[in-house]
Amino acid sequence: MFSDKAPYIVTILMAALTWALTHVADRLLATPMLQYEVQDLSSQGRQTQYLTFKKITRDKTFRGVHLVLTAPADGLFTQGAVIPVQPASEGDKPYQLVGRTFEFTFPELQPGWKVEISVDYTGSGRPSIRLSSSDQTIYAVKPSLETWLVEYDLEVLLGLAVLWIVLLGLIWLFGPRKRVVCYDT
C-alpha cells in the first residue's frame, strides 16, 4: 500500500515546496533590491571602509542612485575610489570627496552589475551610509537568505527538480513491490 502512495506523497510535498519557494522568490524579485557588504580594514594607523554594491533585481534598471558616506564627527575622508566590476560602469561623473563627506551617483545599475567603493578615513567611529534615488524606492540590504533566494532562484528550482527525480527513482528502486501471482491452468 505504501509503495502506491509514496510517489504521490513525494510529488505533492515537492510541488508544495517548489510553489512556496517560487512565490517567495517572485515577491522578492518584484522588490527593487541592492545588496551591499561593508568591510572595515585598518593597518598602520590607516582605516579603510570597503563597500560592495550588487544589483540583484533582474527586471529593473536603477538610474541616479545617490550614495553619501559621512565620516565620524571627529574624522574625515582622505581618499576614495570607485571600482566597477565589468561589465558595470561608473559613468562620466567622478565621486566628490569633501572633508567628512564622500558622494557618488551611480548613473545606472543594470541587473547583475557590481560596484566596489573604497574610502580611507580618520576618526574613532565608522562612516555612515545613505542611499537614495529620485526615481524609485530602492532597498539596500545586507546578504541574507532572502537575497540568496533572489540571486539564485533558478538554481534552487532546478535543484528541487533534480531532488524530486532522485527521490522518485529511489522509491521506485527500493520501495516494496507487489507480487504478481500467476496461476497455471
> Mind listing the pLDDT tens digit for each residue in 159-176?
888 887 887 788 778 876
The structural domains of the chain, with segments of one domain joined by +, span: 1-31+144-185, 33-137
Planar angle of CA 64, 147, 54, nearest 5 degrees = 35
**In this structure, what C-alpha cell is assigned to residue 91?**
559613468
pLDDT, mean over the chain: 83
Q: Are 77 and 114 in contact (CB under 8 A)?
A: no
Q: Which DSSP string corresponds to 42-88?
A: EETTEEEEEEEEEE--SS--EEEEEEEEE--TT--EEEEEEEEETT-
pLDDT tens track for 131-148:
888 878 888 889 988 888
Confirm or reject CATH 2.60.40.1170 for domain 33-137, answering yes or no.
Answer: yes
Is the pLDDT at 185 greater than 70? The verdict is no
Residue 116 in this model has a pLDDT that exceeds 90: yes
| Overall pTM > 0.75 | no
Identify the DSSP state of 142: -
Cis omega (within 30 of 0) for bond into 87:
yes
